[in-house]
Amino acid sequence: MEEAIFWTLIILFFVYGMIPWICTAVLGFGVFRKSPSCHEVAFTFDDGPDPRFTPKLLDLLKKYNVRATFFVLGSKAEKNPELIRRMNQEGHLIGLHNYVHRTNWLMTPWTIRRELDRSASIIEQITGVRSIYYRPPWGLLNLFDFLLRKEFRIVLWSLMVGDWRSKGGSDKIKRRLMHKIKGGSIILLHDSGETWGANPDAPLHTIKALEDVFLDLSHRGYTCVRIDQIPPLGKQKLASEVSWKKKVMVSIWLKWERVFNWLFHIHPIDKNHPFLNVRIRTYWGKTVQLSDGEKIQRGDRVLELHFNNEVLYNMGIHSRSSIQLAIQMIRTTEQLLPKTLPIILNHPNYEKIKALYGVSMIYRGTKQFGFIVNDLPRGPFSFFTKIYLRLLMSVVHPQGKDRLQNKVEHLVPKMMVMSTKELMRRYPIENL
């Protein structure tokens, strides 16, 4: 039981935190990371305002007539309203960085929303302007943060030079910035050294380095602008670009699945035709009454079925239509399903394996093989399974995005169960 809880928590963490991180930080979906401009760059500063360093930074920005964006913590803005007021008066953009510097992975969606609203209200009371720009601490988003896009513009970065550490001093920061800045860069820097992992005096080195950097950028013909002065990336994408992103998403997902299969000891029914994978596990759900009189109860052993999504993806991209893909899947399942019986019979405690069991959104047609199809009981497992499988559909299915937009009401995961007795009845051992 403890092992099941542990792995359930691992899966929930992956869905809640890692998938959004892959989608945003790695692939850039749903966030603003880089401008298409060839002549503009945007300097952004996190973790302030800081009464020790922010005034020095504002003096430098004013000296070189640079407009920047500050992603501030609401708690610090509350304590230093004069610095927020000065940022606004000198033409800088003020964004939000939560109320305190805490990762969204360790907070509930309603806590994040409450902190953002509180921080936005503090800024609005000081400046009269309510900010719509948001950068989560460490750039880490959770699954529900995508809902914030209705009200906030999520901004990450394209260039980070590790300026929160003092090692290497201003020369290291200056060298990295001058070497890596190019048109359209959104640069992440810090005007406070109080965050976990940062050195308290690190902003001094950043400010010193920027003196030379601003001069260098001016000579190179770059203009430093605020985030809201950069034209957003267009919605229209070239087909080749979309195809490239799709390939990257699929590649990342399939690498994760290989790790997942290794962790949970999932292996193919037939190594020569690896469309269906299986593992033997303990069933922890509610009692399921089967049509042949068998009951699957908590604590029973089952053979759990999994599609090989790499094979499924390759089937999809080479199919002329969804109907052809469905026919291929049915025929392949028909060939492989009887091969589950030797796996069961060769297990040391085969008599304790009560059923074949699976959860999927691809369940139509499974009744013809002897499965019963039930709704998943409402609860956390059902909720997170639906989110996980819809993400899987959007990534792996060739028309996944369109299906999510047009047929979302049909994309509900179902539980499919067939007793071992029914399997043996349908596929007698002498026929194998």
Does the structure show a pLDDT above 90 at 58?
yes
Which of 54-58, 144-148, 326-330 shows the highest mean pLDDT? 54-58
pLDDT of the residue at 299 = 92
In a domain, 348, yes or no: yes
Examine the domain organization and report whether 349 and 420 are in the same domain: yes
Last residue of a domain, one of 178, 202, 229: 229
pLDDT of the residue at 151 = 87
Examine the domain organization and report whether 400 and 320 are in the same domain: yes
Closest C-alpha among 51, 229, 23, 384 to residue 413: 384
Examine the domain organization and report whether 153 and 108 are in the same domain: yes
Q: What is the mean pLDDT of residues 76-83?
A: 97
Examine the domain organization and report whether 22 and 168 are in the same domain: yes
pLDDT of the residue at 420 = 92
In a domain, 1, yes or no: no
Confidence label for 319 from pLDDT (cuts 50, 70 and 90): low
190 is catalytic: yes
CA–CA distances in Å: residue 401 to residues 16, 246, 306, 390, 394: 20, 11, 22, 9, 5
Total domains present in the chain: 2
Stronger pLDDT, 228 or 233, i.e. the higher one: 228
CA–CA distances in Å: residue 177 to residues 173, 181, 196, 289, 332: 6, 6, 23, 65, 55
In a domain, 3, yes or no: no
pLDDT of the residue at 428 = 82
On whether the CB atoms of residues 286 and 415 are closer than 8 A, the answer is no
Q: What is the pLDDT of residues 324-381, one digit of tens each?
A: 677 778 888 888 999 999 988 888 877 889 999 999 877 778 888 889 999 888 878 7
What is the average pLDDT score of the chain?
A: 84
Residue 233 is given by DSSP the state: P
Examine the domain organization and report whether 35 and 150 are in the same domain: yes
pLDDT of the residue at 396 = 62
Confidence label for 404 from pLDDT (cuts 50, 70 and 90): very low
In a domain, 102, yes or no: yes
Examine the domain organization and report whether 110 and 251 are in the same domain: no
pLDDT of the residue at 368 = 87
Whole-structure pTM value: 0.57
265 is catalytic: no
Examine the domain organization and report whether 201 and 250 are in the same domain: no
Examine the domain organization and report whether 333 and 410 are in the same domain: yes
Q: What is the DSSP string of 285-353?
A: S--EE-TTS-EE-TT-EEEEEEE-HHHHHHHHHT-SSHHHHHHHHHHHHHHHGGGHHHHHHTSTTGGGE
On whether the CB atoms of residues 24 and 141 are closer than 8 A, the answer is yes
Last residue of a domain, one of 229, 252, 272: 229
Does the structure show a pLDDT above 90 at 419?
yes
pLDDT of the residue at 331 = 82
Domain that holds residue 133: 16-229
Does the structure show a pLDDT above 70 at 399?
no
Poorest-pLDDT segment among 21-30, 227-236, 358-367: 227-236
pLDDT of the residue at 360 = 86
Task: Classify the C-alpha dihedral 319-322-323-329 as positive or negative.
Answer: positive
The catalytic residue among 46, 47, 145, 300 is 46
In a domain, 149, yes or no: yes
CATH number at residue 225: 3.20.20.370
Examine the domain organization and report whether 209 and 257 are in the same domain: no
Q: What is the pLDDT of residues 259-289, one digit of tens each?
A: 989 999 999 998 878 889 999 999 988 899 9
Kindly state the percentage of the chain with pLDDT values over 90. 48
Examine the domain organization and report whether 212 and 280 are in the same domain: no
In a domain, 5, yes or no: no
Q: Residue type at 253?
A: W
Confidence label for 155 from pLDDT (cuts 50, 70 and 90): very high
Does the structure show a pLDDT above 70 at 317?
no
* Number of residues assigned to the chain: 432
Q: What is the pLDDT of residues 11-23, one digit of tens each?
A: 776 777 788 877 7
Last residue of a domain, one of 210, 229, 248: 229
Examine the domain organization and report whether 290 and 211 are in the same domain: no
Examine the domain organization and report whether 175 and 318 are in the same domain: no
pLDDT of the residue at 239 = 34
- H-type helices in 351-410, by residue range? 380-396, 400-406
In a domain, 123, yes or no: yes
In a domain, 105, yes or no: yes
User: CA 23 from chain center: how many Å?
Assistant: 5
Closest C-alpha among 386, 385, 359 to residue 373: 359
The catalytic residue among 97, 101, 190, 306 is 190
